[in-house]
Amino acid sequence: MFEEFVKFSGKSVLLVARLHIDLCRLASVLCSR
């Protein structure tokens, strides 16, 4: 069960990081206009 929790938390961290990168990229595009 602990291993599954680690896998799930790892996936969620990657997902949040990817989302954060997309948001930063979008913000930089909007600010550069």
Confidence at residue 2, expressed as pLDDT on a 0 to 100 scale: 87
Give the pLDDT of residue 33. Answer: 80
| pLDDT reported for residue 9 | 93
State pLDDT tens for residues 14-26: 999 999 999 999 9
Report the predicted TM-score, pTM, of the whole model to 2 decimal places.
0.60
State the amino acid at position 4 in one-letter form: E
Q: Cα(4)–Cα(20) distance, rounded to whole angstroms?
A: 24
Residue scoring higher pLDDT (33 or 14): 14
DSSP calls for 1-33? -HHHHHHHHHHHHHHHHHHHHHHHHHHHHHHH-
Q: Residues 3-14: pLDDT tens digits?
A: 998 899 999 999
